Chain A
Amino acid sequence: MQGIPLIFEKTKTGKEGFRLSPLEVPKVDLSETLGEDIVRDEVNLPEVSELDVIRHYTELSRMNFGVDNGFYPLGSCTMKYNPKINEEVAAMPGFTELHPYAPEEISQGTLEVMYDTQNLLAEITGMDNFTLQPAAGAHGELTGILIIKKYLEHKGEKRTKIIVPDSAHGTNPASASHGGFDIIKVKSDSEGLVDIEALKELVNEDVAALMLTNPNTLGLFEKNIFEISKILHEKGALLYYDGANLNAVMGIVRPGDMGFDVVHLNLHKTFSTPHGGGGPGSGAVGVKAFLRDFLPKPLAAQKGQMYYLDYDIPHSIGKIHGFYGNLGVVLKAYAYIKSLGAKGLKEASEIATLNASYLLKKIEDMFEVPEDILFKHEFVVSCNNWKEKFGVRALDVAKRLLDYGFHPPTIYFPLIVDEALMVEPTETESKDTLDAFADALRKIYQEAKEGPDFLKSAPHDTPVRRVDEVKAAREMKLIYEG
């Protein structure tokens, strides 16, 4: 059966969409100018009309689901509304048409935005200096880890280990490992927080840093943060902040005040820039002053009235991106911070937490939920009871939610919770939406009671039915062969 269409199947020999004006300069003989043995035959790309292209990609877009389509409580991803004014600002030709090597005197606008954003992020996080060069959260993690590595090297210390909690994002151990460190896991205590005693035992002169999210990936605030910071710093190790969950605490606590030395933010989460179907994001990294000289080159700087790119960073890790980062994304985050100001950002965090707490209250009777815990902007419940009682798994619940017009929460993460649903509603969702989502879950619970088959075969009302992941991995059809 046909299924999802591909542009290659609309191609007809000789069809044209795009056309250039006639060549004004003399024609060239390619075999002479390029060399006979390097000139290729045609590339087998589609031959379609302009309207073919528009219809095809419009059709594909309708098979997608974004924040504009509906509720998207994907835990740890902060799928908040992406304000339209940000898109308009970032699309201004003054920004989009600027070449990265244009002279600085005539690129002052973007340099000003970079400089301002570095400083705004520093104030929001309590750090001293920021780089905007990393292009995504994990890219920021790698950058932060390399800053720590370079700093230790500069001090003449060889520390080989990075500690990550067992509840951490997969990117944390992967980034630290690609930074050349060995990974050790610290377990969580019965409350879901870093086990302080276990941490004390792990930290020694071999440990370079602890990577921590606060609130952590369970949505809980690590209230012993000062003690954690002391344990690390007393042994000469650093504290790294994964900013994935900053949306819970803006204006309430700051990583810099909690003792963190290095921070990465996800501007595409906390600062409302769209996720683009999987990027572009921006993984800005902030450090305390003693690490400033290890940041990637260049930083935006100001001298008198002029902004410029400062390459004078004595112990810089070098470059982590060809140019200066995803500035189109930075612009949107800048516009967002300017729209909200201090009070607005704080309110965003408060309402994000209110929304999560309220939604949990509405659904907690249906799931296994730890008692007496104050979640922040997201919460984790377990479908273990569904599995035991009805033979229905978190995956089935997720797939059925699609039929109800919702994007499901993150599932099977964090790894320390069985059958996890990780729900992050964000502040921009209304009470009505939260109520509707709770109602949908209640209906699904009822469906589960009536028998697992209907849920196991969900989704039923999506552009395609449940897809065969095993077949994809086994057959490895990774390009269209015609």
Chain B
Amino acid sequence: MRFISHAPSEIEEMLETLSIPGVKSLFDDVPNDVKLARDMNLPRPLSEVELKRELLEISKKNKAADYVNFIGAGAYDHHVPAVVKAMVSRSEFYTSYTPYQAERSQGTLAAIFEYQTMIAKLTGMDVVNASIYDGASSLGEAISMACNIKKKNKVVLSGSIHPEYVATAKTYGFGAEIDVVPSSYTTSYETDWKQVEGLIDGKTAALVISMPNFFGVLEDVKQAQEITRKKGIMLIVSANPVSLGLLKPPSDYGADIVVGEGQPLGNPLNFGGPYLGFMGTKSQFVRRMPGRIVGETVDTDGKRAFVLTLQAREQHIRREKATSNICSNQALNALASTIYLSYLGKKGLNDVAYHSHANARYFIDEAKKSGNVKIINPKVFNEVVVEVGDLDKKYQEALDHKILPGLKLDRFFPKEKNKLMVAFTEKRTKQEIQKLLELLGVS
């Protein structure tokens, strides 16, 4: 096979050293009736030339990858700079593993420390972990964490959270025996605060909101702050990190835990993964946080160095009493986000957020001029729901023009017929937006 580094004569020498006739002898302890008596039924092995040809052909069947993309809904078509790709392709980074041996893993450790710092700055939280699998699973972990801290077993979710995050939170809740209670959303696609307040009772550990919410709308976060303060429960905020280039950090409105999907920070769409979930919290909760954490220290020469720390929370030490079962996380994606934020810097992140928002506003303002479509709630960051008559037909026409016009809301909410959710990034041009408007019947 390929990828084995032995000359045939070396295998002979090794067998001789072991005084055995062949490799099969190494499996003499495996009972014969357990052994597979046939070859596995797999396709024949391909050479590199064949493999590349075949996979390229398969990749071309993903015609949508070439289209102008206005779909968001938790995964955004931001530009991934060449710098990011070049740096995460360094094999010292990508062929290493969890930095257990700190002295030879300072690259990964320092980068995670930078990542923790940058996410802390974005979210306003005191401490950040080294990443979780994605935005939805980081919410799942956050509800477990809040229930552990509060010693309660119920969380209330705003009705305007991503439906797949709600589904994931429910699955985590099923495991941890937490009652995950979603509320509904209003006709203007906002949290129904009154209902939320009614759902909170003595068993409730936390309220979860999303900012911006699933529909792109900016929530009245003061309400969340007031309700959670009044009820004495924790506030968990799921945030779009790019929006935090313009919007106040969730710490400003009382968040105790901030989670979110890190994909928009330098990670390609990849049909939904690998992405990364980020999580930050206040320093008093750090020992309750799941996942890896890197801390600063010194080596025996007194020089600054970094190391995995607070490991007494983790599964390899605490086993069934660990704060979480996380071992591998999304380190390389977190590295990509770190490099992305370094490269964009103060101004660049602000620019990307501003351009994305300005593009969304342009679409809204143009759409408003026409009676053919209806903007339900224009108070958004980079994504907006628009009501379009005869949507299915127009959607198909857009596809014919190699445009993905957005997400049809009835995918998740069957009653939301003829509603299209359209997302904007800095990559969308004025011309592309005009074409979309035209296809939706706004001339």
Question: Scoring B residues 24 to 46 as 1 if CB is less than 8 Å from chain A, else 0, what string do you get?
Answer: 10111111011110011111111
Q: Is the CB of A322 within 8 A of B165?
A: yes
Residue picked from A50, A250, A277, most chain B C-beta under 10 Å: A277
User: Known contacts being A178-B175, A327-B272, is A107 close to B64, with CB within 8 Å?
Assistant: yes
Q: Is A451 an interface residue (CB 8 A)?
A: no
User: Which chain A positions have C-beta within 8 A of B98?
Assistant: 275, 277-278
Q: How far is the CB of A132 from chain B (nearest CB, A)?
A: 9
Q: How far is the CB of A305 from chain B (nearest CB, A)?
A: 11
Residue picked from B67, B273, B333, most chain A C-beta under 10 Å: B273
Q: Is B350 an interface residue (CB 8 A)?
A: yes
Q: How far is the CA of A82 from the CA of B113 in the complex (A)?
A: 26
User: Which chain B positions have C-beta within 8 A of A325?
Assistant: 272-273
Q: How far is the CB of B51 from chain A (nearest CB, A)?
A: 6
Query: Which one of A17, A93, A123 contacts B343 once the chains associate, using CB atoms below 8 Å?
Result: A17
Q: How far is the CB of A101 from chain B (nearest CB, A)?
A: 5
Q: Is the CB of A348 within 8 A of B4?
A: yes
Q: Is B205 an interface residue (CB 8 A)?
A: no
Q: How far is the CA of A27 from the CA of B358 in the complex (A)?
A: 7
Q: How far is the CB of A462 from chain B (nearest CB, A)?
A: 4
Q: How far is the CB of A441 from chain B (nearest CB, A)?
A: 16
User: Known contacts being A28-B357, A361-B17, is A253 close to B90, with CB within 8 Å?
Assistant: no
Q: Is A171 an interface residue (CB 8 A)?
A: yes
User: Which chain A positions have C-beta within 8 A of B61?
Assistant: 94, 108-109, 112
Q: Is the CB of A141 within 8 A of B35?
A: no
User: Which chain B positions have C-beta within 8 A of A202?
Assistant: none
Question: Scoring A residues 344 to 360 as 1 if CB is less than 8 Å from chain B, else 0, what string do you get?
Answer: 11111011011101100
User: Which chain A positions have C-beta within 8 A of B133?
Assistant: 135-136, 139, 321, 326
Q: Is the CB of A113 within 8 A of B58?
A: yes
User: Which chain A positions have C-beta within 8 A of B330?
Assistant: 135, 276, 279-280
Q: Is the CB of B111 within 8 A of A60?
A: yes
User: Which chain B positions have C-beta within 8 A of A58?
Assistant: 87, 90
Query: Which one of A135, A249, A462 contacts B274 once the chains associate, using CB atoms below 8 Å?
Result: A135
User: Known contacts being A57-B87, A178-B144, A468-B297, is A374 close to B93, with CB within 8 Å?
Assistant: no
Segment of B181-189, B227-235, B313-321, B368-376 in the binding face = B313-321
Q: Is the CB of A347 within 8 A of B1?
A: yes
User: Which chain A positions have C-beta within 8 A of B164?
Assistant: 319, 322-323
Number of A-B residue pairs having CB atoms within 8 Å of each other in the complex: 712
User: Which chain A positions have C-beta within 8 A of B275?
Assistant: 322-323
Query: Which one of A57, A93, A179, A180 contacts B65 once the chains associate, using CB atoms below 8 Å?
Result: A93
Question: Scoring B residues 279 to 309 as 1 if CB is less than 8 Å from chain A, else 0, what string do you get?
Answer: 0000100100000111111111111111101
Question: Scoring B residues 85 to 98 as 1 if CB is less than 8 Å from chain A, else 0, what string do you get?
Answer: 01101111111111
User: Known contacts being A335-B51, A344-B1, is A177 close to B357, with CB within 8 Å?
Assistant: no
Q: Is the CB of A170 within 8 A of B322?
A: yes
Q: How far is the CB of A274 from chain B (nearest CB, A)?
A: 5
Q: Is the CB of B347 within 8 A of A47?
A: yes
Q: How far is the CA of A200 from the CA of B347 in the complex (A)?
A: 65
Q: Is A303 an interface residue (CB 8 A)?
A: no
* A39, closest chain B residue (CB): B246
Q: How far is the CB of B9 from chain A (nearest CB, A)?
A: 9
Q: Is the CB of B1 within 8 A of A343?
A: yes
Q: Is the CB of A47 within 8 A of B346?
A: yes
Q: How far is the CA of A477 from the CA of B310 in the complex (A)?
A: 11
Question: Scoring A residues 231 to 252 as 1 if CB is less than 8 Å from chain B, else 0, what string do you get?
Answer: 0000000000000000001111
13 A-B contacts, Cβ less than 8 Å apart? A1-B302, A69-B95, A92-B59, A109-B61, A170-B319, A171-B316, A176-B320, A226-B33, A323-B272, A340-B2, A344-B1, A473-B311, A478-B286
